[in-house]
Amino acid sequence: MRLALAEIRRAKLRFGLLTGAVALLVFLILFQQSLAGSLLGQFTGGLENQSASVLVYNVDARGSVEASRILPSQLEAVAAIDGVASAGPIGESTFSARLASGELQDTTVFGYELDGPGAPTTLSEGRLPSGEGEAVASSGDASAGYAIGERLRIVPGDTEITIVGLADGVQFNVQPTLFVSFGTFETLVRSTNPDATGVLANLVGVEPTAGVDPTALAASITEQVEGVEAFDRATAVASVPGVSSIRQSFAIILGLAFVVVILLTGFFFLIITVQKIASLTLLRAAGASGGFLLGNLVLQVVLVIGAAIAVAVPLTVLAVSAASSSDFSATVEPKVVATTSIAIMLLGVLGAVGAMRRIARIDPAAATTRLVGGGLA
């Protein structure tokens, strides 16, 4: 350990530049992950954090909640499938809400039967709706006029909605989101479209009976009910139009950043190992074991990457806070930071394999040659 630290002290600039470069890469990775996670969460949270384990769409909707319409006969057929404990309609639409400040704000509204599937599962404050005209809002929008006790008016129609609870991570389509009773949802649709003769559900929310796998139940519903396509919750979230493209785009960027971490650490430690091969050979001839030299190399890698992570994490927190606004709230997840840090540490050690192999192949007898310096031959 003293050998590794001594070398770092003698080459502060060299190791400092490497640490700074790795810190920049770690910062970019964490920042991208935070933005991607927050964006996807606000894009699909309304589906991900509701209670229905299975969601049933019209077969032509292709995973789009807005494009899906479920007929009453299809809802009844779904409820009659073996393995379905409960099934209920879920409506979704975007309305203009007039806030207490007088501002008009596009707001996504989910309607569900209060005793059925579709309720928000991440309630953090207040309570769930217990009657008509009550709503749970996204906690991320509380400061923007959606706090508990606020009264909103949906226009046209001037229907009043009172917020009685807040739930974490339930935004949908990156908009303020409300969960109301299906009766309230029907009222809102009719108030904005007085000519509507009936209000169709966008989805059917399904809860399986105990012991029934949601994925298997979804496949059974798709097979037995004509004109519908059912997904378990995770598949429904992944099927939202645009989600796969966003994930793929960020995955490519993050993948390249991880590759650069491997290349950067690998080439750096390989170069300095080649430069000091004569000194390492003399140490081996003097009795230092190969394990001792390899341990010092691994320690240097861990210290450099550890220092880079220590610099990158607070920078990421500051950058994400600066990038957040009332329209887009991003957060740094501790779990993501921990898993990413471990992955980068392992990749850094993996990148130094080339340098490790050079050390492992050192022959102590080479110290007697002129090529090493000080040799007798």
pLDDT of residue 368: 65
Nearest Cα neighbor of 352 from 284, 303, 283 is 303
Is the model's pLDDT at 327 over the cut of 90?
Answer: no
pLDDT of residue 369: 66
- Other beta carbons within 10 Å of 148: 16
% the chain with pLDDT above 70: 94
Average pLDDT rounded to a whole number, residues 109-135: 94
pLDDT of residue 375: 44
Question: Band of the pLDDT at 274, cuts 50, 70, 90?
Answer: confident
Is the model's pLDDT at 319 over the cut of 50?
Answer: yes
Is the model's pLDDT at 165 over the cut of 50?
Answer: yes
Query: Is residue 179 within 8 Å of residue 108, measured between CB atoms?
Result: no
pLDDT of residue 376: 40
pLDDT of residue 48: 92
- What count of residues does the chain have? 377
Is the model's pLDDT at 343 over the cut of 50?
Answer: yes
Helices in 276-360 by DSSP H: which ranges?
277-285, 290-323, 334-351, 353-360
pLDDT digits (tens, 9 = 90+) for 68-78: 999 999 999 99
Lowest mean pLDDT segment, chosen from 23-27, 80-84, 191-195, 250-254:
191-195
Query: Is residue 55 within 8 Å of residue 63, measured between CB atoms?
Result: no
Average pLDDT rounded to a whole number, residues 83-112: 93
pLDDT of residue 374: 45
Burial class (CB in 10 A: 0-12, 13-18, 19+), 153: middle
Query: Is residue 48 within 8 Å of residue 237, measured between CB atoms?
Result: yes
pLDDT of residue 229: 95
pLDDT digits (tens, 9 = 90+) for 359-375: 888 877 776 665 444 44
Query: Is residue 37 within 8 Å of residue 30, measured between CB atoms?
Result: no
Higher pLDDT, 362 or 215: 215
Is the model's pLDDT at 317 over the cut of 80?
Answer: yes
Mean confidence (pLDDT) of the chain: 88
Query: Most confidently modeled of 104-113, 237-246, 250-259?
Result: 104-113
Nearest Cα neighbor of 149 from 167, 132, 140, 161 is 161
pLDDT digits (tens, 9 = 90+) for 1-60: 677 777 778 888 888 899 999 999 999 999 988 888 888 888 899 999 999 999 999 999
